[in-house]
Structure 1
Amino acid sequence: MRVLAIDSSGMTATVAVVEDTQTIAEYTVNFKKTHSQTLLPMIDTMGKMIELELKSIDAIAVAGGPGSFTGLRIGSATAKGLGLALEKPLIHVPTVDGLAYNLYGCQDIICPIMDARRKQVYTGMYTFARRELEGSKETEMVLDVLEAQNASPIDELIERLNIHGRPVVFLGDGVPVYQDVIREKMRVPFSFAPASANRQRAAVVGALGIQYYKEEKFETAMEHQPDYLRVSQAERERAEKERKAVVSIRQMKVEDAAAIAEMEHQTFSDAWSEKAILDTLRNPKTICLVAEKIGKIVGYCIVYTADDEADIARIAVLKESRRFGVASELIHALDVICWENQIQIIMLDVRVSNDDARAFYEKHGFTQDGIRENYYKNPIEDAILMSRAVIPTKK
């Protein structure tokens, strides 16, 4: 079997062509250059050196994360593009597993650490166990995952390693960043891997990828997605900005229907279609509100009215925006509209199993009126009926 291997998960950019019993070629650069500038030229140069016909490869192994967000995106995009063009499967090799495999045969705890900033590392714990081959005196070393790859504060990682009580070998780009902390706080014997084996290597990703392929652990190029483990710095900053932003409530518009339908499918098992939402908007006996933060819809509420009663049919908030008062603002805005329109009672129903929703409504003064058996479908479940009087309020 012949595999093209790619790893751009860290500062190191590395590509290789690996077969079952040998590495045909490997090109590795650990230098401050953007992987978008280097990765494809490296593959091209390596291919020319060994007269590689890309169609001759059987699969593409790619370090699928965690790691640098930009590096992972470039590596994954390169692998996906080649996989689609060549119609070859992709083998997703976890980055930290690949790093550990550098130390093939080591029976101490192997602890890769990649600097994830903010005193955190991408890490895992591994060792190699000896396994006898059936009907032979020959043995092989098998990678044993003691702790799957994760993002962890360096202090907590060290404490877990101390609890294990076994000698540890560290490797990865987190070593130069945290070696002083390691030397200060480790209470068990430890060492650092040599320069020849302490960074990502595509040949190792390829060798491990071949094992995974034989175990049928592969995917189509279209299916492949990198494993970030944490959101990017830009995404964290955007989320923090959204969290602090003021919630604004407005009437739902026709052009909001597509976004609301998407939130429906993310929230409810009996999601309303875009057409159903548009039909509801056209109904003069409805109150349809959306909550926005920085121009982004983060929640909505759909209410049917009849005489002096209002019945909440739908209320939902984006998962990442929950527990920041969005639903409370929607309820408050509904009270204002109901009071202005001389509506006296607000009613709703909630699944028996939805403890969080029940607690939210009780916090806002709703009390239980009764049970409606087998009201909900998919899955079948009883509904708790709740209501309260409209709270007199002004805008």
Structure 2
Amino acid sequence: MRVLAIDSSGLTATVAIVEDEQTIAEYTTNYKKTHSQTLLPMIDEMVRMVDADLKDIDAIAVAGGPGSFTGLRIGSATAKGLGLALDKPLIHVPTVDAMAYSMYGCEDIICPIMDARRKQVYTGLYSFSHKKNEDGGLYDEPVFQVLRMQMAVPVEELIRHLNVYRRRVVFLGDGVPVYKEMLAEGLKVPYSFAPSFMNRQRAAAVGALGIRYYEAGRYESAAEFRPEYLRKSQAERERAEREKNAVPKVRRMTMEDGAAVAEMEHQLFSDAWSEKSILETLDQTNTICLIAEKAGRTAGYLLAYTAADEAEIARIAVVKELQRQGAARALLTELESVCGSEGIKKILLDVRSGNSAARALYANAGFKEDGIRQRFYEDPEEDAILMSRELEINV
């Protein structure tokens, strides 16, 4: 079997062509140029130097994370593009697993550490045990063991884990020079650092481990492949913080909101309304349709029908990642305001009996339980709790 291996998950960019019994070629750089500048030229040069034809490879092994968000995206895009063009499967090789595998046969705890900033590292704990020859011969096969799967943890927590094992540890990765002093201060077990020729990512290790994963059936199409980040990027964390602290704003729904509301319906409900149903509801004169936004993003919506001096909430929902951040309460408050201006005296709704969070929300908003409709809901079957709130109308 022959695979093209790619790893751009860290500061090092590395590519290789690997077969079952040998590495045909490997090209590794650890320089300040960005991977977008170097990765494809490295592959082209490597292929040219060994007169290879990428059409002859069986699969593409790619370090799928964790690691640098930019680096992972570049490596992922390169592998996916080649996979689609060549019609070859992709083998997702966890970055930290491949780093540990490069220390083949080591019986110490192998601890790769990649700097994740803010005194955190991407890491995992590995070792090799040995499988004796059943015939009593001298052959002694190392068996790759994952003691702790790859994770993102504070350095202090990693040190506590290692001290519990009470075994010799060998470290490698770009986190070593960053956290060397912290390791020296906190570790109570013997430790060492891998030498320069094996202390960074190696595409040959990605390829070799990738062949083992392929033989075990662990591969996927290029379209299916997704990198594994383990945690959100800095930009995503900052956006989440802005959204969390933002005050929800509520406005009237428009026809342009129909597609977004339909998408949320399908994400949140088993009996989702179609976009057509939502637009038909919006087009009726006896409805109140509201949208809640946080930090410029659609957070939730409310659909209510009016008749005489009553309004009944037919749908109220908030996207999962923005729940418990005030959007639902803002929708109810705006509904009360609209109802008050239109002379509506009472708001009605029903809620699943098992939805304790929603029932608490409505109770805090002044709704009272009026009765039960048995087995009203389906998928799953559940009773409906009827609730209402009387509004004070200022004359």
SS in structure 1 of the partner of residue 142 of structure 2: strand
Where do residues 223-372 of structure 1 align in structure 2 (5 Å cutoff)? 223-372=224-373
Matched-pair contact (CA < 8 Å) for 1:7–1:63: yes
1: CA distance, partners of 2:48 / 2:293:
54
Contact 1:107 1:127 in 2 (8 A): yes
Residue 392 of structure 1: how far off its partner (Å): 6.0
DSSP 3-state at the match of 1:353: coil
Q: Does 1:131 align with 2:131?
A: yes
Q: What CA deviation, in whole Å up to 9, does each residue of 1:78-109 have, x standing for no partner?
A: 00000000000000001111111111112222
Question: What is the match of residue 177 of structure 1?
Answer: 178
- CA change 1:111–1:370 in 2 (3 A) is farther
Work out the CA distance in 2 between the residues paired with 1:158 and 1:294.
39
Task: State the secondary structure of the residue aligned to 1:261.
Answer: helix
- Structure 1 residue ranges, 4+ long, deviating more than 6 angstroms after superposition: none
Relative to structure 2, which stretch is displaced further, 6-15 or 103-112? 103-112
Counterpart-to-counterpart distance in 1, 2:5 and 2:278: 48
For 1:120, the equivalent position in structure 2 comes to 120
Structure 2 unmatched ranges of 5 or more: none
8 Å contact kept, 2:5–2:18: yes
Superposed counterparts of 1:144-159, under 5 Å = 144-159=145-160
Question: Which residue pairs with 1:92 in the alignment?
Answer: 92
Provide the secondary structure at the position in 2 that maps to 1:76.
helix
- SS of the residue 2:280 aligns to: helix
User: What is the percentage of aligned positions where both structures have the same residue?
Assistant: 64
**How far off is 1:195 after superposition?**
1.2
Q: Distance in 2 between matches of 1:144 and 1:393?
A: 72
* Post-superposition CA distance 1:297-326 (Å, at most 9, x none): 111111122222222221111222222211
Contact 1:290 1:299 in 2 (8 A): yes
CA contact (8 A) 1:335 1:392 kept: no
Count of paired positions: 394
Deviations along 1:252-293, one digit per CA (max 9) or x if unpaired, are 000000011111112112111111110110121111000113
Contact 2:251–2:291 (CA under 8 A) maintained in structure 1: yes
| Structure 1 position 11, deviation (Å) | 0.6
Q: CA RMSD in A?
A: 1.7
Q: Secondary structure at the match of 1:157?
A: helix
CA distance in 2, matches of 1:393, 1:264: 35
Question: Separation in 2 of the partners of 1:351 and 1:143?
Answer: 50
TM-score (normalizing by structure 1): 0.95
Range that drifts further, 253-262 or 349-358: 349-358
Q: How does 1:64-103 map to 2 (within 5 A)?
A: 64-103=64-103
| 2:343 and 2:393 in contact (8 A); partners too | no
- Greater Cα offset, 226-235 or 250-259: 226-235
Amino acid at match of 1:304: Y
Matching residue's letter, 1:25: A
Q: Mean Cα displacement is larger for which, 139-148 or 333-342?
A: 139-148
Distance 1:48 1:303, change over 3 A: same
- Looking at structure 2, the residues matched to 281 and 220 of structure 1 have their Cα atoms a distance apart, in angstroms, of 42
Give the aligned residue type for 2:166.
G
In the superposition, the TM-score normalised over structure 2's length comes to 0.95
Deviates more, 1:342-351 or 1:83-92: 342-351
**Deviations for 1:7-64, whole angstroms, at most 9, x for unmatched residues?**
0000100000000011111000011111010000000000011100101100000000
Work out whether residues 345 and 393 of structure 2, in 8 Å CA contact, stay in contact via their aligned partners in 1: no
